[in-house]
Amino acid sequence: SHQRRVEERKRLHRIQHGQCSYTFVLPEVDGCQSGGSLSQGEHYGGSRGGASVVQRDSPPMDGEWSNQKLQHLESIMENNTLWLQKLENFIQKSIRRDAANIQSHVVNNQTATMLEIGTNLLSQTAEQTRKLTVVEAKVLNQTSRIEIQLLENSLSTNKLEKELLLQTTEIRQLRDKNSRLESKVQLLESQQRGELEDMRLEKNRLQVQTQMVAIESLERQLRVATSNNTALQKQQAQLMESVHTLIDMVATTTGTSKNTKRFQMWKDCADAYKAGHSASGLYLIYIGNRTEPVQVYCDMETSGGGWTVFQRRFNGSVDFQRSWREYKMGFGDLSGEHWLGNEVLYLLTSQGQYSLRVELQDWERISAHSQYDRFTMASERQQYRLYLRGYSGTAGRQSSLITHGAGFSTRDHDNDNCDHCKCALMLTGGWWFDACGFSNLNGIYYTVGHNIRKLNGIKWHHFRGPSYSLRSTSMMVRPYDF
């Protein structure tokens, strides 16, 4: 087995070059086969191979043999070296060829892939082209369809245009007809208007005629009526005359002239006085347009006479503590003590401008008077409000009766100027109280000896002071221009 291992070592040599390994067989050297020495070398070198050969050869250094041996070895070495070089060249050549092969292979591979890519691209391009053509076809189809539609549309528009044209011509014809009709209607209307105007004129003429006739008849009637009226008036006047003559006759025959002379149409006592009656007493007067006469007491002596008396007191026989209604309607005895009545006084003094006179007398028989140029009295709705102007007289330099306006108050109607009191209750009677003022001629009648310090008596402050109750009073009116 040892021999065979040597054999194998002789033949196989390996060279590693990069990834490749090359195996070759070196030629056998003859001189190396000396007996004994190989086993010695084997002994010395072991597994180290060539090195053992060199060590084995180096020790014998004697003579010519040694030189020859050395030269032989050197040539072998050279030969080996040459061979090695050759081998090397070959190897290098072969390696180069391999590398070239590899390179060309890569190139081929690349070309193939390139080609493959190229064909791929070509096929893709072809596909795209096909798709494009399809799309193109579709687009063309669409466009052609649109074109067809357009064509159809234009055709229909043409048709519509034609219809429109027809319709417009029809409309024009209708309008023409209309205008002709309108002109006809206008003609008719104007004709009618003219006829209406004629008719109206005719009617007016007729109306005027009928009116004229009516007016004439009315005038005739009026003439008749007025003649009738004047005839009636004449009759009335004649009747009145005869009545008066009859009254006069009766008066003269019976002799009671004083009582009967009042049946005249006097509006107040001044009228009676002017009619020649100068005696004080009762008279009948006709106030306003009233047909019923009113009986009054006339004072025909005081200050020229002609006074219509509306208040009189002289002996306390009549109670003056009365209600609103009684003061309105009047009470007492007209020939004695009395209050004529607010309503009659209002109506009487509403006939014109009147003056007021107040006659007073105290218990010492001293007389005094107060006169007012203007006496104005409002209606019941305004509480018989009293206004006075133009004071004069002997019963004080100032007026004791309020002049600037005061309502009439009674115990049941408080119209005085006192905010928190009722003067008619405190001072008694009915009067034009201020708050409560300087006068009250309708207070309680106190007899002599009892007339002092009486606040609710018959008072005229500026004559006898605030607590003196007077003996007699009278109040009367007469026209301002008497």
User: Rounded CA gap, 124 and 225, in Å?
Assistant: 136
Q: Decide if residue 104 touches ligand NAG (CB under 6 A).
A: no
How many residues bind ligand NAG (CB under 6 A)? The answer is: 14
Q: Decide if residue 123 touches ligand NAG (CB under 6 A).
A: no
Q: Decide if residue 224 touches ligand NAG (CB under 6 A).
A: yes
- Residue in 374, 360, 357, 373 with CA at minimum distance from that of residue 306: 357
Q: Decide if residue 221 touches ligand NAG (CB under 6 A).
A: no
User: Rounded CA gap, 345 and 376, in Å?
Assistant: 10
Of 141 and 245, which has the nearer Cβ to ligand NAG?
A: 141
- Residue in 416, 431, 471, 476 with CA at minimum distance from that of residue 447: 471
Sole binder of ligand NAG in the list 119, 141, 204, 226 (CB under 6 A): 141
DSSP string, 300-348: -SGGGS-EEEEEEESSS-S-----HHHHHH-EE-TTSSEE--HHHHHHH
Q: Decide if residue 85 touches ligand NAG (CB under 6 A).
A: no
Q: Decide if residue 34 touches ligand NAG (CB under 6 A).
A: no
Q: Decide if residue 226 touches ligand NAG (CB under 6 A).
A: no
Of 206 and 231, which has the nearer Cβ to ligand NAG?
A: 231
Q: Decide if residue 336 touches ligand NAG (CB under 6 A).
A: yes
Sole binder of ligand NAG in the list 228, 238, 295, 351 (CB under 6 A): 228
Sole binder of ligand NAG in the list 92, 94, 204, 227 (CB under 6 A): 227
Sole binder of ligand NAG in the list 231, 237, 239, 243 (CB under 6 A): 231
Please say whether the beta carbons of 400 and 462 come within 8 A.
Answer: yes
Q: How far is the CB of 231 from ligand NAG (least distance, A)?
A: 5
Q: How far is CA 302 from the centre of its chain?
A: 76
Instruction: Tell me the three state secondary structure of residue 467.
Output: coil
Q: Decide if residue 254 touches ligand NAG (CB under 6 A).
A: no
CA distances from 247 to 263, 265, 266, 281, 357 (A): 9, 13, 16, 20, 34
Please say whether the beta carbons of 310 and 475 come within 8 A.
Answer: yes
Q: Decide if residue 448 touches ligand NAG (CB under 6 A).
A: no
- Of 38-46, 73-81, 208-216, 403-411, the segment contacting ligand NAG by CB under 6 A is 73-81
Q: Decide if residue 381 touches ligand NAG (CB under 6 A).
A: no
User: Phi then psi for 352, rounded to 5 degrees?
Assistant: -175, -160
User: Phi then psi for 116, rounded to 5 degrees?
Assistant: -55, -50
Q: Decide if residue 133 touches ligand NAG (CB under 6 A).
A: no
Q: How far is the CB of 287 from ligand NAG (least distance, A)?
A: 10
Question: Parallel, antiparallel, or unpaired: how do β-strands 281-285 and 307-313 relate?
Answer: unpaired
Sole binder of ligand NAG in the list 317, 379, 394, 447 (CB under 6 A): 317
Query: How does 74-95 read in b/e, with b if 16+ C-beta sit within 10 Å?
Result: eeeeeeeeeeeeeeeeebeeee
Of 13 and 203, which has the nearer Cβ to ligand NAG?
A: 13
Pattern 275-294, ligand NAG, x by CB under 6 A: -------------xx-----
- Of 74-82, 183-191, 400-408, 466-474, the segment contacting ligand NAG by CB under 6 A is 74-82
Torsion (CA) 313, 317, 320, 321 in degrees, nearest 10? 160
Dig out the tokens for 286 from the structure. Answer: 């006709």
Q: Which residues bind ligand NAG (CB under 6 A)?
A: 75-76, 79, 109, 141, 224, 227-228, 231, 288-289, 315, 317, 336
